[in-house]
Amino acid sequence: MLVLGADGYLGWPTALHLSDQGYTVGLLDNFARRGYDEELGSGSLVPIEELKVRRDVWQELSGQAMELYTGDLLDADFVTETVRHFAPDAIVHFAEQRSAPYSMIDLAHASYTQHNNVIGNLNVMFAIASVNPDIHLVKLGTMGEYGTPNIDIEEGWLEVEHNGRRDRMLFPKKPGSFYHLSKVHDSHNIEFGCRIWGLRATDLNQGVVYGQQTPQTERDPRLATRFDYDAVFGTVLNRFVIQAVLGEPLTVYGTGGQTRGLLDIRDTVACIQLAIDHPAERGEFRVFNQMTESYSVSQIADIVSRTYPGEVRVEHLDNPRVEAPEHYYNVKHTGLVELGLQPHLLSDTLIESMFGIVEQHQDRVQRNRLLPSVKWRETRNSVG
C-alpha cells in the first residue's frame, strides 16, 4: 500500500494502521505541510517527529519496515518511478493542500491549491494508467464537494429522470471554497480515468475529522500525529476542544446553524482499510460518503461545553466564510457500514482524552493564531 501524504494528520496514522494489519506500506510526502506551518507562524499543538524518525521508531517497536519516498506529486517522473519501484496493489492518496481558508487567502494561494491538488492527482492517475491500471486508487475527497443542497445527498451518483428519460449522473456539486472545488475537479478527472482507461477507484467523500490518537500512535510519543489549532488548518471540533482547555471562547462562526458530517480519526483509518480490502472493479468509479454523524456547529460547541469540567464561553463571530447559516442536510452514508464499518460515535470519552492531550501541550499554542483572518468575500487577505 503506497500512502501519499504520509507525513500528514491522517496519512501517518493510516500508514501505521495498515502496517500493523500486516500490509507492506510505502510512505510518500514532500513536507509541504511543514512549510505552510512556517508561512503561517503556527504548528502542531502536539510535537511531531520527522517522518524518517517516526518510521524508524515504528520499525523498532513493531518490526515492520516502511519504505520512504521523499518527493513532490507535481514531479510526474518521480511519481511514475515510485509507482513502478514500489509496485503497490493500492495507492491511498491524502497528499493535497487541504485547508479551505488557506485556499481563500488570495489568488496565489487559490492557484497553488488547485494546481497542487489537481495536477498532483492527474500525475498519480497517469502513473497508474501507464505502470499498472490494476492498481486501486483510494482517493480522499470531501463531503464539502456537495455543499448543502436542499435535497438528500447520495453517495456520489444520482438517478435522474428528465423529460421522460433516465440516467445515472455524478451527483451535482456546489462546494464552498477553492480547496473544496479542487476536490470536485479531482473527482471528475478520476471518473473520466475509470471510464476511459478502465482504472479502478474509490473516492472517499470524508467529513470533518476529529481526534488525535489511534491505537498505533498511542504506543510512543514519537509516533504522534499532528494536531492543528490555528484558524487556517485547525478543524472545528478539534479547535473547540483546544479553545475550551485554553480558556479561550469557542469561536462559532455566524449563527452556528451550519451542519457538517463528522467522524473519529479511528474511523478514518478503518474506512481506508475497508476500501482497500474490497476494491472497486476495473472501470468502476465508486464513491463512499465517509462520515458517521452530522452536527451543527452550535451543537458541537454545546457538546464540548457540556463535557469540559471547567467554565466554557461560546462567542458568535461574524462568519468570515460564505455558507448557508441554516439548511437541510440529509446524507446517505451506508456504503462503508455495509462493508463492515463499526463507527465510534462522538462519545464523551474521546473528547475527555483530547482535553488531556491539550493540557499537556498547551504552552505550545500561539494564541494570536486562533482567530480567523481569512474572509471569503475578500480577494486579498493578510495572514501575517
In the complex, which residues of this chain contact ligand USQ (CB under 6 A)?
98-100, 142-144, 180, 207-208, 235-236, 239, 251-253, 258, 260-261, 297, 321, 323
Residue closer to ligand NAD by CB (options 7, 165) is 7
| 179 carries an active-site annotation | yes
Least distance to ligand USQ, CB of residue 207, Å? 4
* Active-site annotation holder among 14, 183, 253, 307: 183
Dihedral (CA of 365, 368, 369, 370) sign: positive
Instruction: Report yes or no: 141 and 179 within 8 Å, Cβ to Cβ.
Output: no
Residue closer to ligand NAD by CB (options 268, 381) is 268
**Cβ partners under 8 Å of residue 178, min gap 6:** 103, 104, 110, 113, 114
| 307 carries an active-site annotation | no
Residue closer to ligand NAD by CB (options 124, 131) is 124
| 52 carries an active-site annotation | no
Strand order in the sheet with 90-93: 66-70, 25-29, 2-4, 90-93, 136-142, 200-206, 285-290
Least distance to ligand USQ, CB of residue 208, Å? 4
Instruction: Report yes or no: 243 and 372 within 8 Å, Cβ to Cβ.
Output: no
Residue closer to ligand NAD by CB (options 111, 379) is 111
* Active-site annotation holder among 179, 210, 253, 295: 179
Instruction: Report yes or no: 223 and 158 within 8 Å, Cβ to Cβ.
Output: no
Question: Grid coordinates 452550535 are at which residue?
Answer: 298
Contact partner, 333, from ligand NAD, ligand USQ, none, Cβ < 5-8 Å per class: none
Q: What are phi and psi of 23, to 5 degrees?
A: -75, 150
Least distance to ligand USQ, CB of residue 120, Å? 15
Least distance to ligand USQ, CB of residue 143, Å? 3
CB burial string 47-62: b at 16+ within 10 A, e below: ebeebeebbbbbeeee
Least distance to ligand NAD, CB of residue 320, Å? 18
Residue closer to ligand USQ by CB (options 19, 206) is 206
**Cβ partners under 8 Å of residue 192, min gap 6:** none
Q: Nearest to ligand NAD by Cβ — which residue? A: 8
Contact partner, 321, from ligand USQ, ligand NAD, none, Cβ < 5-8 Å per class: ligand USQ
Contact partner, 251, from ligand USQ, ligand NAD, none, Cβ < 5-8 Å per class: ligand USQ
Q: What residues line the site for ligand NAD (CB under 6 A)?
A: 5, 7-11, 29-33, 72-74, 94-98, 116, 120, 140, 142, 206, 208-209, 226, 235
Contact partner, 323, from ligand USQ, ligand NAD, none, Cβ < 5-8 Å per class: ligand USQ
Burial of residue 247 (number of CB atoms within 10 Å: 0-12, 13-18, 19+): exposed
Residue closer to ligand NAD by CB (options 9, 86) is 9
Q: From residue 124, how far is each of 112, 117, 129, 257, 285 by CA, in Å?
A: 18, 11, 9, 38, 15
Q: Nearest to ligand USQ by Cβ — which residue? A: 144
Q: State which amino acid sits at residue 163.
A: N
- Which positions are catalytic? 142, 179, 183
